[in-house]
Structures are given as C-alpha cells and as structure tokens.
Amino acid sequence: MDYQDILYEVADGRARITLNRPEKLNAISPLMQQELHDALWAADDDRRVHCVIIRGAGRSFSAGYDLTAPPGARDRSEHSRGFRTFDDDAWNMERGQRLLMALFDMHKPTVAQVHGYCLAGGTGIAGLCDLVIAADDAVFGFPPARDLGALPINMWLYHVGPQWTKRLTMSGDTITGAEAAEIGLVLKSVPADVLEAEVEQLCDRFALIDADLLAANKRIVNLGMELMGARTLQRLAVENDARGHLAASAEEFRRRAAEGGLREALRQRDEAFGDGRARVRGPEQRDDHGRLVD
C-alpha cells in the first residue's frame, strides 16, 4: 500500500512506521492518523511482524496536531458536520482518537522511538505505545495547555501519576527525555546517537519470542489499565478538550492566528513563559525572563 504521510517497512521481525512530514516536524494530519491506523493493523495481521517501531523523520518525533488543518477537514460534503457546536468538536476529535487507539488495541507490542520534540498530540501517540525510549535531549510537553485546550488523549496519568500530570499539563512546560525517564513518562532515555540502536536491540529480543506470547503479555497489562479506567478516560478526554476549546483564551488564540498567522500566535503565547521548561530535580529558580537558572 502506498502511504503519503508515513513510511512503512517490514524487516527483521518488526514493522517500522515513520511519521513522515519532516517539514512540519511531523505535525499530525487527518491523513497521518488514517494511515497510521491502517499500517498498525496491517502489521498486526502480518505473521512476519513481532513488534512495531514508531518513529519520526527529520528533526522530531512529532510537534503535535497540525493546527492549519482541523481534524476531519478532508473529504467533507456540504451535509457533513463542521465545527459549529460542542458536539461537532467532540465528534471530530473522537473520530481521530479512534484511529490512534489502534496502538492500544492491537495485539503486538509497539515501541516509540522519540527524538527532538514530542509535544501535544505527539505525546498522545507516544503515550499509547507500549514502551517509549527517548533521546536524553528530547523535549516532552503540552504547550496548548497555556491557552487552547486539554489533552484529547491522556495516558500521562497512567504513566506518571496525578501530580506530575497536573504539573505539566496545567502549565504547558516541557521536560527533557532524561527527566521524562526519571518520572516514568518514558521507559528510559539514552544519548541521541545510540537511540536507534537501543530501540532496535530491544526489538531484536522481541523477535525471538512467539508473537502470540507477546500479545498475551501485552493484553493482560492493557486489560488491567482498562479496569483502571484507561479507555473510558480517553473518551472523557475528548469531551474535556472540547470544553477547553470554549475558553476565552482559546477564542483569543484562534483570533490571533487568523490575523497574524499561527507562528506569531504561538510566539505571543509562549514568550511570557521564558524557556518554557520545568525541572524535575531541584528548585525552579528563574531569571527576569522566565528562564531556569542553576
């Protein structure tokens, strides 16, 4: 099958899926969601595949959703839903979320290989993977918390607990890959130059194991998470994000983006937050410009 926004290959007992919009830092488009869904189920159906690697082309894993093309914007007729009401917004986001939930639902394990930025919706893709291995200098965060909305896919709670989830998703601040490993947002971090080798050697081990056994051991953990409400929370997360979209700050962001462009709206949003970083260990002392100091 030919793909446009991803790359797909099968070799060495694994499928490698590469988010492939490097010019946009792999911003998640409606087409990318559909293609990722299709490729994941193709890999799950392929007896040669024991596990799947999700990675990003270019400088980043993914900087989040493509705000220049609302989810569900393609292939619409004059009778299709728009984005007029709360329910329209939730419905469109639910459609995209159902596609990405393939990461959670498929039988075979998935490993996110994260470098560069993993922001906003990018953390949704990574968080739905079974394992996340990041570069030490990767950047994780949810900047839209500052004025636009809430996480429409929220697996943070199940990885890091309530306090770090609140600290990061209520401020939009970011942490490094090394810090993400320290709080459990990712399995581990390694120097960027050995990231690919680290992921591949793990998948070498998975390739030695019967795919049915891998599925059994993934499934029982995910079912346990479902018993803790993981799937229900994802449905609620979409409605909660739609609620966030009604905030006055979200309306103001959309106005600024329409008048001055998306880049300028993001600059205005983030400039008050200095370097935009949180610190996992030690005090957060900042200079007059909001930048962390040692």
Residue 72 has pLDDT above 60, yes or no: no
For residue range 10-45, what is the model confidence (pLDDT) as tens digits? Answer: 999 999 999 999 999 999 999 999 999 999 999 999
Cα dist from 69 to 29, 31, 145, 236, whole Å: 7, 10, 19, 23
Report strand pairing: 14-19 vs 51-56.
parallel
Residue 145 has pLDDT above 70, yes or no: yes
Q: Are 275 and 290 in contact (CB under 8 A)?
A: yes
Closest CA to 266 of 128, 126, 117: 117
Can you give the residue ranges of every domain in the chain?
6-273
Cα dist from 147 to 28, 253, 256, whole Å: 20, 7, 12
Give me the pLDDT at residue 78, please: 62
Q: Which CATH number is associated with domain 6-273?
A: 3.90.226.10
**Residues paired with 212 in a beta bridge:** none
Residue 193 has pLDDT above 80, yes or no: yes
pLDDT-based confidence at residue 84 (cuts at 50, 70, 90): confident
Q: Record the pTM.
A: 0.94
Please give the Cα distance from 177 to 228 (Å, whole number): 26
In angstroms, how far is the first alpha carbon of the chain from the final one?
51
